[in-house]
Structure 1
Amino acid sequence: MSDPGKPGGPVARGPLARLLDSTLVPRSAIGRKLALTALVNALGTGMFYAGSALYFTQVAGLSNSQVGLGLSLAGLIGFLGTVPVGMLADRIRAGRVYIAIQVWRGLGNVAYCFVGDFTSFAVVACCIGLADAAVPPVSQAVVGSAVGDEERGDTLAKVRAVRNVGFGLGALVATAAIQQGSDNAFLFLIAGNAVFFLASALMLQRAGVTRLVTTAAPAKDRRPTLVADLRYLATAVLNGLLSMHLTLLPLALPLWISQHTDVPLSLYGPLYVLNTVMAVLFQARFARPSDTLRGAVASMAWAGFSLGGFALACWAMGATGAVWAATAFAVLAVVLLTAAELWQSGGAWAISYELARPDRLTQYLSTFQLGTALQGIVAPWVITAVILPNALGWPVFAVLSALAGAGVALTVGRAEIRARENATVATGTDPGASVDTEPETAGRTA
């Protein structure tokens, strides 16, 4: 064995380096480039999310209802445009579309700096909403093609963890701007987001994503075929329900704490931090079981049970009159919600990718994303009008969550799982792997 102290021997790595490798740093060079790009992108997005509401109301002069209506319209446009953008990505390559989306978002944020009425705000919001909704499936296709099947889940998890770090850092910058309080400070947040989007587009270009081939072979028939693939659509719907953690944390939890429990509302900030820290530290670990289709299906089941546990913890939080007990249930609820988030994201990445038609990869991934987009439209009403006002709202939601997680095994199908395992054993590779047959490539050979 080589001596670490001698020249040429392996370099001893400290605990911090090992922690970074296991949580934030992808193994491949192209994966690390994509993670760094995600960090830059998330810095701007974190700045924007933390300060945009105040910018639109205090600087642009819009009312709360106008902001809400404009963003709802943007969400609807994004929902309708996700699949067409995915089809375009399959036709002209996902990497090219990914860069174009980043440039589009950057220019959209530049336009935000000049809005002064509802009409201009709604137009710009809808343009950005179309791009925002297309990002998850397109970026997933790019990462999957760049690093190969063995590293796909690990890289996606670490990119997501790095993105969470960027969100947090961006929010800190926004906090300073908000405390300063001037119009220029808020303009700095919006313009800064535009700069970071344009910078990420340049970084993607230099990483060579435009040369990635995401489809296994050119599709001879360009007509949509998803209507016939009911199994994939059903799984997307179940995934949408399991992805309600995206709305439960920022909307349901603070409303429930403030209106239905004895938990101090000041605890919500630390609870949000707890969610972020857990997401950064454990995303890669929770994604490991999803290296196989069987493991991904099991992760979705665990996500459903964990989401149900969150609901029961919320119900217990409101039922107890002891502040210490309610506080303990609040912490437990966030831990369970975060676990559901990590299991669901890892399982969804694998299932959406493995069950997609290789010649229409981004189109299928975009369709799978519709479940999450639909959640964003429906969940706020379900939470505020159905779950929170009703005594049995949380228990019923707990049951539905558990059933949704378990139902993924039915929609995926045992036969599909066995067929994938048999194919892997027979060939030694993932049967859904795509190959870049062109000499110009930036992914698996990077």
Structure 2
Amino acid sequence: MTEAAVKASPPAPPRRLLHPDPVVRRLSWMVLVNTFGNGLFMTVSALYFTRVAGLGVGQVGLGLTVAGICGVAASIPAGRAADRWGSRRVLIVLNLAEAAGMASYCLVHSFAVFLPVVCVETAVDRGAAAVRNALYADALPKETRVPGRAYLRAVTNVGIGAGATLAALALQADTRGAYLAVILANAASFLAVGAMLPRVPVAVRDDPAPVNPSLNPSADPDKHVPEAARRSALRDLPYLAVTALNAVLAVQFAVLNVGIPLWVVRETDAPRAVVAAAMIVNTVLVVAFQVRATRTTRDLGSAARACRTSGLLLAASCLAVAATHGLPAATAAAVLLAAVVLETAGEVLSQAGGWLLSYDLADPAATGAYQGVFNAGAAAGMMLGPAVVTTAAIGHGPLGWAVPAALFALSGAAMVPVVRWAERCR
């Protein structure tokens, strides 16, 4: 190539790890700090409660189940609070409450103390998740909202992975001091997020597109939403139907986190290391493909079809797991990892489709209330998921996997006509 040709050629665009949108970058730092702390705590929590706090495994399981119910119940009022007082303002308060609740785990020494602490902490955490989703709607314009959330989900996986890696040091030390240091570090991460939130620009809720307050000083980003608009989320039957179908798809997380580990140990000859490999494969693929998956969800119709495809992929994943029963160790491990690839493909599609549906089918004047409802549905699906998987699949062998497979395929297929109904009723 001649020198003139080189000069005439446009420079190749630099490959970016950081998002080009400054608002998404601010949100991503906030998410990274938050999920890093969560990754720390998630890795050590079970051992801390059983080895240090002195709780039985059954007590921990019962406490987490009751706390899950509290989390589902907290999502809707938290979303309505975001509409009333502003998503950013409410999220700051909830992060301060989460920091206090997390630090309170250091005081747990009996089930009587553990139960109220874990219930309050989980309720605040689920409420914060609903408000955070409303914040994304306030901070990001409609055309970049779903791709932005996909980028943030990739950051979430990076943060959790980094936190889990560092938490391995506490697990190796296996001392009360090491576990308490991890808990307090997570509490500090909530304080850090609370300090970062005021720098995230938010919009006037009922404007057609987010408005930067610095460009429109008269705009009130914490403008009150009419009470009727806040209540409409619980009376919007098409939206509730979409939420219920998404809740069924959310059972998928129990397949990866509960079903596959138990299945590997109880029903296959695959090496136990394949469980860790499955988690790594899932994390890497989500980071690599979640943003790309949003390119298939341009409107309500394509989002519904993405959920339909997701249901079929999740069903195929369940059947692949069932097929590993009785296979030689190496073959079983290979098939299980293939099942994880199918599950992850379904996961990224269902997340991309669900995000768009949750925002675009909502009343724009009550985003917080609608996100509260949608988040409550997803939380309910994740709470019931372990019971569905263990009762059906683990309890009944290979044929049992047909139950979650059918649930995924049917709920995904139903999403298309239900979304059409919701679109007609908007």
Deviation (angstroms), 1:105 = 0.8
Deviation (angstroms), 1:220 = 5.4
Note closer, same or farther for the CA distance 1:105–1:5 as it changes in structure 2 (3 Å cut): farther
Runs of 4+ in 1 over 4 A off after TM superposition: 3-6, 9-14
Note closer, same or farther for the CA distance 1:415–1:270 as it changes in structure 2 (3 Å cut): closer
Match in the other structure for 1:102:
95
Match in the other structure for 1:225:
232
Q: 1:135-164: per-residue Cα shift (whole Å, max 9, x none)?
A: 332212211221201110111000110011
Q: 1:140-197: per-residue Cα shift (whole Å, max 9, x none)?
A: 2211221201110111000110011000000011001110121111111000000011
Match in the other structure for 2:204:
213
1:304 aligns with 2:311: yes
Cα contact 2:78–2:128 (8 A) shared by 1: no
Deviation (angstroms), 1:222 = 5.7
Cα contact 1:31–1:143 (8 A) shared by 2: no
Cα contact 2:101–2:121 (8 A) shared by 1: yes
1:256 aligns with 2:263: yes
Cα contact 1:90–1:215 (8 A) shared by 2: no
Match in the other structure for 2:196:
203
Cα contact 1:142–1:212 (8 A) shared by 2: no
Match in the other structure for 2:159:
166
Tell me the TM-score normalized by structure 2: 0.90
2:111 maps to which of 113, 118, 123? 118
Match in the other structure for 1:265:
272
CA distance in 1, matches of 2:120, 2:227: 31
Note closer, same or farther for the CA distance 1:27–1:140 as it changes in structure 2 (3 Å cut): farther
Cα contact 1:93–1:213 (8 A) shared by 2: no
1:366 aligns with 2:400: no
CA distance in 2, matches of 1:248, 1:266: 17
Match in the other structure for 1:175:
168
Deviation (angstroms), 1:64 = 1.5
Deviation (angstroms), 1:321 = 2.5
Partner of 1:356, secondary structure, is coil
Letter in 1 for 2:81: L
Tell me the TM-score normalized by structure 1: 0.86
Cα contact 1:95–1:212 (8 A) shared by 2: no
Letter in 2 for 1:86: G
Cα contact 1:215–1:361 (8 A) shared by 2: no
Note closer, same or farther for the CA distance 1:260–1:4 as it changes in structure 2 (3 Å cut): farther
CA distance in 2, matches of 1:181, 1:53: 12
CA distance in 2, matches of 1:193, 1:281: 26
Cα contact 1:142–1:214 (8 A) shared by 2: no
What aligned pairs does 1:372-391 form with structure 2 within 5 A after superposition? 372-390=378-396, 391=398
CA distance in 2, matches of 1:213, 1:341: 32
Structure 2 gaps, min length 5: 208-223
Answer with 231-240 or 186-195: which moved more: 231-240
Deviation (angstroms), 1:215 = 4.3
Cα contact 2:94–2:128 (8 A) shared by 1: yes
Structure 1 gaps, min length 5: 421-446
Deviation (angstroms), 1:264 = 1.2
CA distance in 2, matches of 1:58, 1:394: 34
Seq. identity, %:
36
Q: 1:374-426: per-residue Cα shift (whole Å, max 9, x none)?
A: 11332211111222222421123322211110101111116827x99xxxxxx
Cα contact 1:78–1:130 (8 A) shared by 2: yes
Aligned-pair Cα RMSD in Å: 2.2
1:80 maps to which of 61, 73, 83? 73
